[in-house]
Amino acid sequence: MEEKKEMSQDQKDELIKKELEEAEILEKKLASERRDEVSRMVADLEKENSDREDQENKETEEPDREKKAEEILRRVNQKKQEEEEAKRAAGIEENPAAGSRRRKKGSGKGKKTAAVIAAAAAVILIGGYFAAGLRYRNAFLPGTVINGADVGGKTAEEVKDLIAQGINTYALTLLERDGKTETITKEEIGLSAGFDGSLEQIIGSQDPNTWLMAMIRGSEYNIEAMISYDSASLAERINSLECMKEENIVPPQDAYVSEYVSGQGYSIVPEVEGMELNPDLVLKKAEEAVQSLRTELSLDEEGCYKEPAVKSDDPQLKERADNLNRYVNVTVTYKFGDKQEVLDGDTIHQWLITDGGNMDISLEGVKGYVQTLATKYNTAYRAKTLKTSYGPEVTITRGNYGWRIDQAAEAEQLIGIIRSGESQEREPVYAQTAASHGPNDYGDTYVEINLTAQHLYFYKEGKLLVESDFVSGNVARGYTTPPGAYPLTYKERNATLRGQGYASPVSYWMPFNGGIGMHDASWRSSFGGTIYKTNGSHGCINLPYAAAKTIYENISKGMPVLCYNLAGTEQRSTTQTAPQTQPQTQPQTQPATETQPAQTPPPAETQPPVETQPAVETQPQTQPAPGPGETEAPAGPGDQVGQNPDEQAGPGVGL
């Protein structure tokens, strides 16, 4: 049996050396792996925390950072314990006094190798983290900010040197809104360094082994004792700045709605930022800058300028401009025949009333505009020129025939249109209309009554339809029929004309001037000439039956009746007609019952009945006074004939 050779001492030493080299290589490899493992652990923890934040609706950040740091420390300690247990399991004992390792009995070469590896791992794991903390025994932990400056990793002396260097060359430059700059030097404010041991106290209170948590959480200090300056001198220097002088101050201006611009309407005028500083805020920001040795201070970025209270993006301001523009963008085109009046923002803007946030339209302004239209386009109560059937022209100055705008109703309509914001073409609301908007508002259908000649013409659409003599008001008794242009009020068949003491039935009743009208006169057999001067009516136009019938059948409410006097046209001759069978006027002792005349002309009689006059004489209705925008024309030819204004008009008073 072959006997084992025992290793020489040199061989043993060589083997141990080789094992140590392998252990060193393994140590480096483990160190790299541990660093990667720590990085992975941090990454894993960050991912876990991120997932947890999503599930818990992202709770506050600071507790998460603390948890993260605590978890890393827990895992590091866990690894440390695991390595120690592995070391004991491998049979390695530490001899603190000798500082050497001792192999237990019975352990072999394999146990020695395992012990070396376990020890190396423990050193790397524990020593790697705590070795990193050694550098913070005399330096500020990472994330430490003092007076606004990051001093992490620096010693107290290094921070003092930085502060001293900063003070030696310090000057604070103020950046102003208009691009100008002003400088405050250290000499002007008595700036100097002053240290009271606060830096050293901060370092002494630190736990270097919490560097990882400090890196995550950070810490901030404000030490006034490090920087010394004269507060009063700084305040005085701030007040003496050029930007603080009154002549250089431009106050801010609020945004506002512009005045109305023709063709453009209203717009928002942007705010003006101005150049007015808040002195107290400037001083506060300057003190903060000096304490942290900042060399530049932007007054605009720090919010030191006074700001406008209302800016162009203000919702209420925009709403106000929109409302104003909705009104002034309305165009109302009034049509008056071939003429028109255009109402637009150039006029409407003058009616807009603003009171704070409220806005309205001036009713008085609208009424004034409508009255202007009435003054310009109303033709009622205005003089009219008529080319008579006799040739000459006459001017009819009295009467209410013509266009007349209902001003109150139109003003109400117009305000509603403006408020709606809808443009439109329209005619105004009329209280009374006429035939034409042309030069002659009576058109080509009218009754022409020559009171001097006692003769009338009825034209329909420009063609002569009726020509007849008539008998008008009794001049001798003061019942002269007044001239003027009037619209037919209405027409009525088989009416009874009543006055004091009489009632006279007529077949065709056509009033046009109060109680004055045209009607058939069955009691007459002669018409025209000068009958009217002594044996005329109470003011009405008495017509032969046939003429009254034809006129009645072709005339309608509102048609013009034009009465005038024309010198030189008086006639002596009369027209004889067969009288109609008609009840005679009876004196009344009690209210009369209205009777209906026959519908067809009765047989002719040889002698016409004599026209009787009622005991009490009444007078035709006087003209109503014109309203706003309705100017009565001056008196002209034919207006001199008298009327008694004290007598009342009514149906039949002009019989």
Q: Are 297 and 289 in contact (CB under 8 A)?
A: yes
CA distance 473 to 456: 15
CA distance 332 to 571: 54
Any idea of the CA torsion for 642, 645, 648, 652, to the nearest 10 degrees? Answer: 20
Residue 519 annotated among the catalytic residues of the structure: yes
| Three-state SS annotation for 411-443 | HHHHHHHHHHCCCEEECCCEEECCCCCCCCCCC
414 CB-side CA count, 13 A: 32
Cα–Cα separations (whole angstroms), residue 365 to 202, 227, 369, 371, 544? 79, 71, 6, 10, 54
Tokens of 143: 């994330």
Among residues 304, 349, 538, 540, the one annotated as catalytic is 540
Nearest residue to 297 via CA among 306, 287, 286: 286
| Eight-class DSSP state of 590 | S
**Exposure letters 396-411 (e unless 16+ CB within 10 A, then b):** bbbbbbbbbbbbeebb
Q: Which residues contact 71 (CB under 8 A, 6 or more apart)?
A: 45
> H or E segment at 320?
helix 315-328
Among residues 349, 455, 519, 538, the one annotated as catalytic is 519
The residue type at 570: E
Q: Are 286 and 370 in contact (CB under 8 A)?
A: no
Which residues does residue 353 pair with via DSSP β-bridges, in sequence order? 360
Residue 87: exposure state from Cβ atoms within 10 A (0-12, 13-18, ≥19): buried
Q: Tokens 């453009």 — which residue?
A: 264
Q: Are 153 and 142 in contact (CB under 8 A)?
A: yes
Q: Which long-range contacts (CB under 8 A, 24 or more apart) does 351-358 make?
A: 351/418, 352/324, 352/327, 352/328, 354/320, 354/324, 357/316, 357/320
Which residues does residue 575 pair with via DSSP β-bridges, in sequence order? 527
H-state helical runs in 56-108: 61-89
Nearest residue to 211 via CA among 122, 124, 129, 123: 129
CA distance 396 to 382: 9
Residue 304 annotated among the catalytic residues of the structure: no
Query: Which residues are catalytically annotated?
Result: 519, 540
